[in-house]
Amino acid sequence: MTAPRFGPGDRVRVKRWDPPGHVRTPFYVRGHVGEVVTVVGPMPDPEQMAYGRTDAPPVVVYRVRFRRRELWPEDADPHEDTVVVDLGETWLEPAGTGEEARAA
């Protein structure tokens, strides 16, 4: 079975992809860093199922927590509120590698 690449507490960055078609990763988290809260486990990949590809391999889904102030630093509200988004592993990469320069 698909072994999860990340575990709880890992910092992950959402890829800045913009693929066409049925996509379940909201724009507001793309390119941002969050923390894995829970490994939900392998689930049918909605980005494949939408096209009837029922034999596509499952995708490991994670619950990833983002800080609202990291997502929208321009907002004045100082509260440390958070958003948890369910994301497929294909969209995630370890934070601190690759796109480090973009965050600077």
Partner 1 sequence: MRGHDHRPKQPDLEDLPYTWHMALTDALADLLMAKGIFGADELRATLETIDQATPAQGTRLVARAWVDPAFRARLLEDVNAAAAELGIDAGAIPIRAVADTPEVHNVVVCTLCSCYPRFLLGPPPDWYKQRAYRSRVVREPRAVLAEFGLVLPDEIRIEVHDSTAELRYMVLPMRPEGTAHMDEEALAALVTRDCLIGTALPRAPQRA
Note the helical H segments in 1-104: 46-49, 68-71, 100-103
* Pick 18 or 80: Cβ nearer partner 1: 80
Q: How many other C-beta atoms can be found within 10 angstroms of the C-beta atom of residue 1? A: 7
**In whole angstroms, how close is the CB of 101 to partner 1 at the nearest point?**
26
**In whole angstroms, how close is the CB of 94 to partner 1 at the nearest point?**
21
List contacts with partner 1 (CB under 8 A): 24-26, 28, 40, 43-44, 46, 61, 65, 68, 71-72, 75, 77, 79-88
* Pick 10 or 40: Cβ nearer partner 1: 40
Going by their DSSP bridges, the two strands 11-14 and 33-43 should be labelled as antiparallel
**For residue 62, what are the β-bridge partners?**
39, 87
* Pick 10 or 38: Cβ nearer partner 1: 38
**In whole angstroms, how close is the CB of 100 to partner 1 at the nearest point?**
26
**Beta strands of 1-104 (E only): which ranges?**
11-14, 33-43, 59-67, 82-88, 92-94
**For residue 38, what are the β-bridge partners?**
63
* Pick 75 or 100: Cβ nearer partner 1: 75
